[in-house]
Amino acid sequence: LTFVSPLQAGKLGLGRPALPDEVAAWDLDVRPDGTGLPDGSGDVLTGEEIFADNCAVCHGDFAEGVDNWPKLAGGMGTLDRDDPLKTVGSYWPYLSTTWDYVNRSMPFGNAQSLTPDEVYGVVAYILYSNDLVDEDFVLSRDTFTEVHLPNADGFIVDDRKSAEAHFVTDPCMQNCKDKVEITMRARVLDVTPDTGD
Amino acid sequence: LTFVSPLQAGKLGLGRPALPDEVAAWDLDVRPDGTGLPDGSGDVLTGEEIFADNCAVCHGDFAEGVDNWPKLAGGMGTLDRDDPLKTVGSYWPYLSTTWDYVNRSMPFGNAQSLTPDEVYGVVAYILYSNDLVDEDFVLSRDTFTEVHLPNADGFIVDDRKSAEAHFVTDPCMQNCKDKVEITMRARVLDVTPDTGD
Amino acid sequence: IGAGAVAATTARAAGDPLITEPQYWAQGLGEGVDATPYGLPIEYESDVVRRNVDWLTADTISSINFTPIHALDGTITPQGCAFERHHSGAIELTKEDYRLMINGLVDTPLVFTYGDLERFPRENHVYFCECAANTGMEWAGAQLNGAQFTHGMIHNMEYTGVPLRTLLEEAGYQTTGKWVYVEGADASGNGRSIPMDKALDDVLVAFKANGEALRMEHGYPVRLVVPGWEGNMWVKWLRRIEVADAPVESREETSKYTDTLANGISRKWTWEMDAKSVVTSPSPQSPITHGPGPLVITGLAWSGRGAIKRVDVSKDGGKTWETARLAKPGERMALSRFYLDTEWDGTEMLLQSRAMDETGYVQPTKAQLREVRGLNSIYHNNCIQTWWVKPDGEAENVEVS
Amino acid sequence: IGAGAVAATTARAAGDPLITEPQYWAQGLGEGVDATPYGLPIEYESDVVRRNVDWLTADTISSINFTPIHALDGTITPQGCAFERHHSGAIELTKEDYRLMINGLVDTPLVFTYGDLERFPRENHVYFCECAANTGMEWAGAQLNGAQFTHGMIHNMEYTGVPLRTLLEEAGYQTTGKWVYVEGADASGNGRSIPMDKALDDVLVAFKANGEALRMEHGYPVRLVVPGWEGNMWVKWLRRIEVADAPVESREETSKYTDTLANGISRKWTWEMDAKSVVTSPSPQSPITHGPGPLVITGLAWSGRGAIKRVDVSKDGGKTWETARLAKPGERMALSRFYLDTEWDGTEMLLQSRAMDETGYVQPTKAQLREVRGLNSIYHNNCIQTWWVKPDGEAENVEVS
Ligand code: HEC
Ligand code: HEC
Ligand SMILES: [Ca+2]
Ligand SMILES: [Ca+2]
Ligand SMILES: [Ca+2]
Ligand SMILES: [Ca+2]
Ligand SMILES: [Ca+2]
Ligand SMILES: [Ca+2]
Ligand SMILES: [Co+2]
Ligand SMILES: [Co+2]
């Protein structure tokens, strides 16, 4: 194999063409429409077993989370309340994100150790834990597009320019309020680590 | 004692007045006209002994220097030759500098350990080593002004602005020389420490 | 407080012994020039370090620490104490093992070695990098007691790198490419989608910070610099850039780094960091140690939308404001240092600072922010911060009406 | 060279295993955020350190080391690898034990504690500090083989401090005071006389560099910053400022830091650092490691008389010159970074750079300098430096006709 230099007008001719196998090895991201999903499939019950072996130690047997580790299930209907619980089920807009993240980044400490079939299974199980599919559900590239996550329409594009247009202003310099009172104190809460001084 | 705040118009009133003893402790510098010299005196022979005990290990018995440590004597007439030898005798314009430096900075590792009399003596000895005084010379505030160092007139004030005015120029960009040849190479000299790469 | 300080204030007529008596450092020898080929701060500054908060995260590998901004001055942040945020720990990656791939909607997908990157024309720029979660604890009210903890997820460095635009041109990006997806080499696979306009504007593929190589914890050997935009997009250990027609909607741009409003709807693509400022001293970790009289109030201001134009300071919790002095005219997407040289009367203060950027945006109060965003946004809290300075000079993080 | 680099150039159709095979750093966990409260460069950068030259001085206590400028980029010098020059070693002095005296021709001699200094209005400025002896070995001809050794007695930092003028005004300096004498707290008692005009102009009493406290080796807790003037005047561990009607003519301004001309007469009071530049890469310690093709030539330029206006680069030992690109417009008394983005044909080069400052001063050749000053000046060698780059990319310090 000889590399062809990509030198063209305005280009320096640096780097070398990426080989198909190289692109395949790194171009793993999966998009909302399923672009990027590999062949394979996995069902809820197989997924449950894999989850129990690889994930439950941090995320709990039912994806409900252990201690401070992320909860992956539950929280439906909490987004407009105090302390919303944001999970795959309650918050995530696209299933692709779960597949992609589990595939590339989990389990924590041994990322990219699952086969595509295992990822399909685990994601099916996370859906099941969120009451979004039945226990006989099989996730594959084909069934993928059938799944719609509940909060898919829960996002708007950054609207600060309009919604916060009033922050562009000529600020008050004198007599800006009548009185000022302390309404909350960090020392009372006392959660700051001691810094030794 | 109460400190009076020096607050005046345009001042912040920070710091406190320095006490006379404090100024005396730190304001030790001696000027060319002898301003700053303390009471005391020392002769060449006493100085020689002090020098032998405190200085000779680095500067040599006759102030001629040991290894790479500074030479304090000799070098007369070398300033306009290759590798001039610059010493108190051959180079320094003012005797005050020797007194001041020895008094405040020497011996290296035990600065400010000599009494004024000892400094007078040591400086007398350095003058003697440079053939500038006889062996019965006694240095004190009084005799100080009698000593004129040979290179006192050997200095001019920075004249780069005039002597190097031609460096302000419109530099050549093309055909600046006919040919270029390498005239000296660092690798041939080979004095660079190895940097391990 | 050392014996010296006591002596200084009670100096007898004979004078302060630190002056009248010769000290060993004025007589003996110090360290030689071979003592520290690469130096560290002197031992007396050992409290000026990054700190983390144990209970914030499940472990320290996927976690954050904070820049000791309360103890710094000027604008440059030394790499050694510049905050860290990792999702899978700071990895050791050699220049030899480093590869950068550009793929997707390009004429020729390319692979670069580290050495290749050093052959492209380079630029130098000073930019701040702020984590979108900086000050996030304040949504729920005054919590952590110190500027380091409330505002320390920020640093400001001089970067040297290659414009991302240059690399995209080298690969021949196609006009159908509206986004670039950028991804790191660590196990978190941290990936973010960046609109092509920004990618072609001022994004840098950087390999030096403050003159020297990036530190391991900041992405050695190569990280992305996305001026003014949230730190999570400044992908470390950058390994891949994909030109695409749509965003990936990765975990870091859906599950995280989206801002939930009171009605449960969440803003996404909130990339720009809003104009913001904080008084770094006096502050809880940097109390006033002198009595009434001259006092320097100082702090930092920045905006992801351009240069800082003005900073105002209030001593009374926002009733009245004075305009502070900027150490230099604001520079785009870089920290500005402000000073208010003032006279302290020894009574309590409710110290605040308020930044204004070149777009005319004025840093809002907590109340103003909450009115629009509620309490659950987690990210992008650029509220006006209040320190309650007491007559003894101690300061506390408080919230005011 | 790591196995990866070899693999990259000989990658088989199957692809580079560094890409096609998962690497441990992309699967496992890295360091947590509590690993390095104050970080150091990654182990792979362990050659980017200060270095001294054993045979230059009798010992390492009164000696120098050199900034690794060949390996840095941008303009800021990290404190950790910024050159050191001590005359009696680097001393450990606490803020508590620190005192600064102003005496002489003032209305009220004053003593300040460290805390007092922090109550005066502060300024921030980036300035270079160059030892007057930098490049001094080159008077006698090409000697040390590396930009670090020939030009590394320089650093460039963002300082925070109080104008000396402010302190002089506080003490009430008298109009008979034409000079200030400044002196350090170490045993060398390093003292220099500075004309009052400069003292009132831009001199700073600094306590921070690059945002954090000065390092021990740079004068912690307080040093003088004398913009554009020789480093010896930047007194470290500053303890005393005396206002006087005449200079002291101390050892550091008579025996040393005077420049002997060919006729044996010596210039004194040569305070300003002349305009100067050097190519930092390629250079002997930074050879070209790639073949012909795109090459970035880069270096530093500075002037003690103001801002750098232009830098030219020659590849043929000064026959022809091209104007390089400045990373930013030059700033007064601060380092400028220049780049020449060029194409290397693989043949040998005699690389030179030539700085021009805002006064129109053009950096001279060695021959031009020697014509005026001879060979014995020791200090202020701002000659044009030549690197002989050979076809294999290695470079050597040479002198040319
Ligand atoms: C050792 C602990 C651990 C194990 C085992 C583990 N995870 Fe995680 N998981 C984490 C941590 C920590 C994060 C958050 C990482 C971050 O944000 O930096 C996370 C995040 C996630 C998230 C995203 C959560 C969110 O709200 O953004 C998902 C989904 C997930 N893990 C799924 C899995 C699956 C599936 C497995 C097994 C195949 C697994 N994890 C194994 C620790 C673990
Ligand atoms: C342990 C070695 C050592 C001892 C002992 C020592 N010196 Fe020195 N001396 C030095 C060094 C090193 C220097 C140069 C210091 C520097 O430039 O940083 C020096 C410099 C000098 C100089 C200035 C030389 C010049 O050319 O500028 C004089 C004068 C001097 N010493 C006198 C003395 C006297 C007098 C004593 C004894 C009272 C003494 N020295 C003891 C090491 C020593
Ligand atoms: Ca893709
Ligand atoms: Ca506590
Ligand atoms: Ca005096
Ligand atoms: Ca050698
Ligand atoms: Ca110690
Ligand atoms: Ca290691
Ligand atoms: Co955001
Ligand atoms: Co000089």
Nearest CA in chain C to D39: C80
Q: Which residues line ligand 1 (CB under 6 A)?
A: A 54-55, 57-59, 69-70, 72, 88, 98, 101-102, 106-109, 114, 122; C 58, 62, 87, 188, 251, 255-256
What are the φ/ψ torsions at residue B127 (nearest 5 degrees)?
-60, -45
Pairing of strands C85-86, C223-225: unpaired
- CA-to-CA dists, residue C96 to A24, C184, C221, D6, D265, angstroms: 22, 16, 10, 9, 55
Report DSSP letters for C2-50, one per residue.
-HHHHHHHT--TT--HHHHS--GGGTS--B-TTS-SS----GGGTTSS-
pLDDT digits (tens, 9 = 90+) for B44-64: 999 999 999 999 999 999 999
Candidates D212, D222, D223, D325, partner chain C, best to mutate (most C CBs within 10 A): D212
Residues of C in contact with A14 (CB under 8 A): 112, 116, 119-120, 170
C·D CB contacts under 8 A: 349
Contact D18 C99 (CB under 8 A): yes
The rounded percent of chain C whose pLDDT value lies above 70 is 97
User: What is the distance between the alpha carbons of residues D10 and D33, in angstroms, rounded to a whole number?
Assistant: 38
Q: What share of chain B is helix, strand, coil (3-state, %, to 5)?
A: 30, 10, 60
Report DSSP letters for A105-143, one per residue.
H-STTSTT-S-HHHHHHHHHHHHHHTTSS-TT-EEEHHH
Q: How far is the CA of A82 from the centre of ligand 4 (A)?
A: 26
Matching residue, tokens 């070995």: D137
Q: Which of A25, A110, A111 sits opposite D15 (nearest CB)?
A: A25
Q: Does an H or E element contain C117, and which? A: helix C114-117
For residue A45, is it left (φ>0), alpha (ψ between -120 and 50) or beta?
alpha
Contact D15 A26 (CB under 8 A): no
The model's confidence at residue B190, banded by pLDDT at 50, 70 and 90, is confident
Residues of C in contact with B110 (CB under 8 A): 27-28
CA D301-D303-D309 angle, to 5 degrees, is 65
Closest CA to D37 of C68, A42, A4, C92: C68
Q: Is the dihedral of CA B31, B34, B40, B43 positive or negative?
A: positive
Q: What is the mean pLDDT of residues C349-373?
A: 98
What is the Cβ-side half-sphere exposure of residue D323, based on CA atoms within 13 angstroms?
8
Amino acid at D317: G
Nearest CA in chain B to C17: B22
pLDDT at C12: 52
Cis (ω within 30 of 0) for the bond into D195? no
Ligand 1, atom 31, residue with closest C-alpha: A106
Q: To the nearest whole angstrom, how far is the Cα of C10 from the nearest Cα of chain B?
A: 9
Mean pLDDT of chain C: 96
Q: Is the dihedral of CA D246, D251, D256, D262 positive or negative?
A: positive
pLDDT at A76: 96
What is the Cβ-side half-sphere exposure of residue B196, based on CA atoms within 13 angstroms?
7
Contacts of D234 (CB under 8 A, 6+ apart): D129, D219, D223, D224, D225, D226
pLDDT digits (tens, 9 = 90+) for C91-107: 999 999 999 999 999 99
Q: Is the pLDDT of residue C352 over 70?
A: yes
CATH number, domain A20-144, options 3.20.20.80, 1.10.760.10, 3.40.920.10, 1.10.20.10: 1.10.760.10
What are the φ/ψ torsions at residue B21 (nearest 5 degrees)?
-65, -30
Query: Exposed, middle or buried by CB within 10 Å (0-12, 13-18, 19+), for D263?
Result: exposed
The model's confidence at residue C4, banded by pLDDT at 50, 70 and 90, is very low
The rounded percent of chain C whose pLDDT value lies above 90 is 96
Contact C80 D50 (CB under 8 A): no
- CA-to-CA dists, residue B30 to B115, B164, D18, angstroms: 15, 34, 69
- Give the chains touching A; criterion: ≥3 Cβ pairs < 8 Å: C, D
Q: Which of C19, C26, C293 sits opposite B22 (nearest CB)?
A: C19
pLDDT at B8: 54
Ligand 2 site, residue B106, Cβ cutoff 6 A: yes
What is the Cβ-side half-sphere exposure of residue A20, based on CA atoms within 13 angstroms?
1
User: What is the distance between the alpha carbons of residues B17 and B38, in angstroms, rounded to a whole number?
Assistant: 24
Closest CA to C93 of C26, C186, C226: C186
Candidates B22, B27, B105, B108, partner chain C, best to mutate (most C CBs within 10 A): B22
The model's confidence at residue B192, banded by pLDDT at 50, 70 and 90, is confident
E strand intervals along chain A: 16-17, 41-43, 138-140, 155-157, 182-185
- Cβ-contact B92, D254 below 8 angstroms: yes
Tell me the two tokens of residue C156.
């400001």
Amino acid at D384: I
Contact C248 A29 (CB under 8 A): yes
Q: Is the pLDDT of residue C153 over 90?
A: yes
Closest CA to C186 of D23, D393, B185: D23
Angle between helices B116-129 and B44-54 (to 10 degrees): 100
Q: How far is the CA of A101 from the centre of ligand 1 (A)?
A: 9
Q: How far is the CA of D86 from the centre of ligand 6 (A)?
A: 26
Ligand 2 site, residue B56, Cβ cutoff 6 A: no
Residues of A in contact with D13 (CB under 8 A): 1, 19, 21
Angle between helices A44-54 and A116-129 (to 10 degrees): 100
Whole-number CA gyration radius for chain A: 24
Nearest CA in chain B to D266: B155
Residues of C in contact with D220 (CB under 8 A): 42, 44
pLDDT digits (tens, 9 = 90+) for B173-186: 999 999 999 999 99
ipTM value, please give it. 0.95
Candidates B2, B5, B21, B54, partner chain C, best to mutate (most C CBs within 10 A): B21
Residues of A in contact with C360 (CB under 8 A): 168-169
Q: Which of D143, D312, D359 sits opposite B189 (nearest CB)?
A: D143
Ligand 2 site, residue B129, Cβ cutoff 6 A: no
Ligand 1, atom 21, residue with closest C-alpha: A70
Sheet holding B155-157, edge to edge: B155-157, D266-268, D259-260
Q: Is the pLDDT of residue C6 over 90?
A: no
Contact B6 D110 (CB under 8 A): yes
Pairing of strands A155-157, C266-268: parallel
Is residue B167 helix, strand or coil? helix
Contact A176 C263 (CB under 8 A): no
Contact A169 C360 (CB under 8 A): yes
The model's confidence at residue C13, banded by pLDDT at 50, 70 and 90, is low
Q: What is the mean pLDDT of residues C7-28?
A: 81
Nearest CA in chain A to C263: A80
User: What is the distance between the alpha carbons of residues C118 and D297, in angstroms, rounded to a whole number?
Assistant: 10
Contact D15 A19 (CB under 8 A): yes
Q: How far is the CA of B26 from the centre of ligand 7 (A)?
A: 25
Q: How far is the CA of C273 from the centre of ligand 9 (A)?
A: 7
Q: What is the mean pLDDT of residues C223-249?
A: 98
Residues of B in contact with C26 (CB under 8 A): 111-112
- Cβ-contact B119, B30 below 8 angstroms: no
Q: To the nearest whole angstrom, how far is the Cα of C297 from the nearest Cα of chain D?
A: 9
Q: How far is the CA of D190 from the centre of ligand 5 (A)?
A: 14
Contact D20 A22 (CB under 8 A): yes
pLDDT at A196: 54
Q: Is the dihedral of CA A99, A101, A107, A111 positive or negative?
A: positive
Q: Which of B84, B93, B183 sits opposite D401 (nearest CB)?
A: B183
Is residue A21 helix, strand or coil? helix
Q: Is the pLDDT of residue C322 over 90?
A: yes
pLDDT at A10: 73
Q: How far is the CA of A168 from the centre of ligand 9 (A)?
A: 19
E strand intervals along C149-254: 154-163, 179-184, 191-195, 204-209, 212-213, 223-225, 238-244
Candidates C16, C18, C23, C289, partner chain B, best to mutate (most B CBs within 10 A): C16
Q: To the nearest whole angstrom, how far is the Cα of B16 from the nearest Cα of chain D?
A: 5
Mean pLDDT of chain B: 94
Tell me the two tokens of residue D63.
């000696």
What is the Cβ-side half-sphere exposure of residue C364, based on CA atoms within 13 angstroms?
18
Cα B187 from chain centroid? 35
Query: What is the 8-class DSSP label of residue D97?
Result: T
Q: For each of chain A's 197 residues, which pLDDT tens digit applies? A: 444 444 455 799 999 999 999 999 999 999 999 999 999 999 999 999 999 999 999 999 999 999 999 999 999 999 999 999 999 999 999 999 999 999 999 999 999 999 999 999 999 999 999 999 999 999 999 999 999 999 999 999 999 999 999 999 999 999 999 999 999 999 888 888 877 54
Ligand 1, atom 42, residue with closest C-alpha: A108
pLDDT at B194: 79
pLDDT profile of chain D (401 residues), mean per 10 = 46 83 96 97 98 92 96 98 97 98 98 98 98 96 96 98 98 97 96 98 98 98 98 98 98 98 98 98 98 98 98 98 98 98 98 98 98 97 98 98 95
Contact B22 C16 (CB under 8 A): yes
User: What is the distance between the alpha carbons of residues A19 and A3, in angstroms, rounded to a whole number?
Assistant: 10
Q: How many CB atoms lie within 10 A of CB D297?
A: 25
- Closest ligand to the CA of A195: 4
Tell me the two tokens of residue A77.
């209907």
Tell me the two tokens of residue C241.
């850039």
Cis (ω within 30 of 0) for the bond into D247? no
Q: Which domains does chain D have, with CATH numbers?
A: 85-267 (3.90.420.10), 276-398 (2.60.40.650)
